[in-house]
Amino acid sequence: MKHLYPLLLIAFLLPGFSQAQSNYKPGYVVTQRGDTVRGFVDYGEWDKNPSKINFKKTLNANKERYSVAEASAFAINGFETYRRFIILLSQDQVELSNLSSGKDTTKMLDTVFLKELNTGKNITLYAYTDKIKQRLFISDNGATPVELTYHEYIDPSNSPNILIDHAYKHQLQMLAVEYNLSNEALINEIQNTDYKDYAISKIVNKINGITNMKPASDGTGIRFFAGAGINSSSINVTGSSELSNAKSSSQVFPKIDIGADIYLNKNVGRLIFRTELYYTGNNTQFIYNYNGGSYTGSGSVINYSEVLKFNTSRIGLEPQIIYNIYNSNNLKFYLDVGVAFIYCDYTNKVYNLTISYTTGGASDLIAQPFPYMHAIIFNVPAKIGFLINNRFNIYAGYMAQTALNENNYSLNLTQYELGINYIFGK
């Protein structure tokens, strides 16, 4: 449980960092009176449609706030556009654990900012996401957007069978007919289109007569990295063993890693999900020497030596969350926390006792059973680091004490690391 504390602490602090950070980008706000005010919009990593935004006329000006009651639209130039509408929102859940028994067609009237995904001469595609689900909307020739209908529900007469209402396909077909674009190829494509923004955006392009335009990006992105560093591993012994009196065994060993980063919103780039695969290891040796004393049987003991040594190769898989506390174009400073799944391979295992006696200078070498060691261990690593020019990632990391075995005594691994990664791609 104690290894979860860093994760819980950072999870608690991240919302505070998010509130404290700003990311002003050139954009504009359209007021309810129809005036366009140009300046800078605080571009957030919005996983849900915002109901209000922060705005500055210049970067040094005081912050202003615009809500759905005060703005009819706003945009971040080159990235995202939102427009205000009073619309009906479906209220049924789509998560499997929350599906209703029978179709739930409940709707609620609300005033919201819809995100513009794709627009053209005939129709415009919008999206709205809240804590319930994402919904897609179509505006036909500038009219108030209408939700594309999609329902999942449990068949009340045959539970737990799940039924799906694909009414949005019929809506898209009617639009194709309206604009004289109904043909067998397009109808078949509509029938095979999932309720996904990128998929329906392709259909919108065709209804708008656009054949060479890619659908707007949803902001997600991926990049890859590879690098090297050093890993300082320290192992100590605790419990009922003479080796608990020995010094900790510490060693610096090379580390190599590869991985991939997924952006929640690459246009903002503040929150990143990382998956890292790495290799490192260490060579361990414990020696406990005892001088003087008595031993029953063969005379007095003048020296007692206990030796435990082994080599370890470790392959780790670490899913992580990175949060850029400082997030400029050429320099980022971040916190990183994750969960480590580590495979350990133990070789060159030795565990001996050497006992020397006063009688005749005799000594005994007694092999001891090597302790059972875990092949897989878990931990919660934490890191801090810099990203320079979106290419060079320099970091320092820490992994709290983890038990490598389960006996009446314990071998405990603690790790520190320094490294550099090179980022591939944009």
Question: Where do the domains of the chain lie, and which CATH numbers do they carry?
Answer: 79-207 (no CATH), 221-284+310-348+371-424 (2.40.160.20)
pLDDT tens profile 93-136: 988 889 999 999 999 999 999 999 999 999 999 999 999 999 99
Q: What's the pLDDT score for residue 144?
A: 95
Q: How far is 126 from 120, CA to CA, in rounded Å? A: 12
**Residue 300 scores a pLDDT above 70:** no
- pLDDT(216) > 90: no
Instruction: Give buried/exposed letters for 153-162 (b at 16+ CB in 10 A, else e).
Output: bbeeeeeeee
Q: How far apart are CA 396 and CA 383, in angstroms?
A: 6
* Mean pLDDT, range 312-334, rounded to an integer: 92
Band of the pLDDT at 299, cuts 50, 70, 90? low
Which pLDDT score, from 0 to 100, does residue 294 have? 47
Residue predicted with more confidence, 373 or 289? 373
Query: 4-13, 212-221, 397-406: which has the minimum mean pLDDT?
Result: 4-13
Q: What is the pLDDT of residue 18?
A: 45
pLDDT at residue 63, rounded to an integer: 94
At residue 214 the predicted structure's pLDDT band, cuts being 50, 70 and 90, is: low
- Summarize the confidence of residues 289-313 as an average pLDDT: 68
- On the question of pLDDT at 415 being above 50, the answer is yes
Residue 411: per-residue pLDDT: 87
Residue 160 preceded by cis peptide, ω within 30: yes
What single string gives the DSSP state of each residue in 199-224? HHHHHHHHHTT-SS-PPPP-S-EEEE
Report, as an integer, the average pLDDT of 171-186. Answer: 91
Helices (H), 106-244: 167-178, 184-191, 197-207
What pLDDT is attached to residue 7? 46
328 residue type, one letter: S
Q: According to the model, what pLDDT value does residue 385 have?
A: 96
What separation, in Å, do the N-terminal and C-terminal C-alpha atoms of the chain show? 38
31: Cα separation from own chain's centroid: 36
Closest residue by Cα to residue 357 from 290, 304, 289, 287: 304
Question: Which 3 state secondary structure label does DSSP give 117?
Answer: strand
pLDDT tens per residue, range 26-79? 999 999 999 999 999 999 888 899 999 999 999 999 999 999 999 999 999 989
**pTM beyond 0.95, yes or no:** no
Q: Name the token pair of 190.
A: 């509509």
Q: Each residue of 247-293: pLDDT tens digit?
A: 778 889 999 999 999 988 877 888 899 999 999 998 888 777 765 54
pLDDT for 384-411, tens place per residue?
A: 999 999 999 999 999 999 999 877 788 8
How confident is the prediction for the chain on average, in pLDDT? 87
pLDDT of residue 217: 55
